[in-house]
Structure 1
Amino acid sequence: MTAEDWPRVEAIFAAGIAGGEATFETRPPTWERFDTGKVPDARLVAVDEAGTVVGWAAASPVSAREAYRGVIEHSVYIDPAHRGEGIGRALLAAFIEAAEDAGYWTIQASVFPENTASLRLHEQAGFRVVGRRERIARSGVGPHAGRWRDTLLIERRSTRNGGQPDA
């Protein structure tokens, strides 16, 4: 993912926000804020035959503490016009490989329990639910605007080195 991809990434992000099942965010950040907040070595876009971005995946460190250097929180977004085409599965698989190649040992995300498509996708990729955060925050937009929402914390441990960081 590069700055040149940002207009399509931002549009896909905005569509996810508007749908109300992807994030607590109320609008996409600027490219500069997005770029500085995401790890550079696990940032991908999916493109169609014409080279148009139809999905993206990116992650942020969960902590600045050295002990958590291998733990990231990720997001995967697909253009609504291209959902159900297997793009999410391919993008998530490529993202996991890139993250493991970069030395990350845990990938996590918070998913709304109602987002069953995302939960199924992640389960098929080896993620598991490790907890539920009840009424963690209020939705800002979409059909749940103003309502307190739960999230499920999901994680996937690397299959390399028994799920542990390199020594």
Structure 2
Amino acid sequence: MKIRNATSADLPALLDIHNDAVRTLKAIWTDRLDTLEDRQAWFDGRKAAGLPVIVAELEDGTVAGYGSYGPFRAKEGYRLTMEHSIYVAPEARGKGVGKALLVRLIEQARADGYHVLVGAVDGENAASVALHQTCGFEVTGRLPQVGMKFGQWLDLLVMTRVLDDRPVPPEN
């Protein structure tokens, strides 16, 4: 498996993975399927902002998953905190793809000078919680019943990882 930067040519695969997650998982709290134009706009926005979009590519060239991160919140005081997302194709789940993507995003966020990486995880998603804990994240909050999907209230777990040991934040 190779982890690499995504290109526009990967967008159909990213769209398929994203829409599968919308249809079948509680990982994306929406019922709205994206179009290729939606994914293109998302991709272009990430690239214009200098944010990573990475893919896990199998030996046969198949895109097995993707990940990215973006601002946690819009206010300036959060500028060194990013929130990440990782999605894996159904046939690749449980095979190390998610971990490989998360490890690379952690490395990238650290290299980009960010201080904290946040994961927002469905409270019932034991596999995602375990993955994050394996990669050094801690559950730092639980927001009960803040979301809904498939006729259920969903709890949101906030998982964080501090990326460096700066004792104080930078002035600007």
TM-score by length of 2: 0.84
5 Å-filtered alignment, 1:83-162, equals 83-139=93-149, 145-158=150-163, 160-162=164-166
Contact (CA 8 Å) 2:51, 2:69: kept in 1 or not?
Answer: no
Residue 11 of structure 2 aligns to which amino acid in structure 1? W
Q: Percent identity?
A: 33
Residue 23 of structure 2 is matched in structure 1 by 18
Q: 1:33 to 1:114 in 2, by over 3 A?
A: same
RMSD: 2.0
Q: Distance in 2 between matches of 1:163 and 1:153?
A: 23
Contact (CA 8 Å) 1:3, 1:31: kept in 2 or not?
Answer: no
Residue 142 of structure 1 is matched in structure 2 by none
Shift of 1:22: 1.0
Q: Pick from 40, 43, 62: which aligns with 1:35?
A: 43
Q: Distance in 2 between matches of 1:161 and 1:58?
A: 23
Residue 3 of structure 2 is matched in structure 1 by none
Deviations 1:94-115 (A, max 9, x none): 1110111111111112111211
Which portions of structure 1, spanning 4 or more consecutive aligned residues, are displaced by more than 3 angstroms?
36-41, 161-167
Q: Pick from 47, 50, 60: which aligns with 2:57?
A: 47
Say whether 1:66 aligns with 2:76. Answer: yes
Greater RCO, 1 or 2 (C-alpha within 8 Å, sep 6+): 1
Deviations 1:75-125 (A, max 9, x none): 111111011211111111111101111111111121112111111000000
Residue 161 of structure 1 aligns to which amino acid in structure 2? D
Shift of 1:36: 5.0
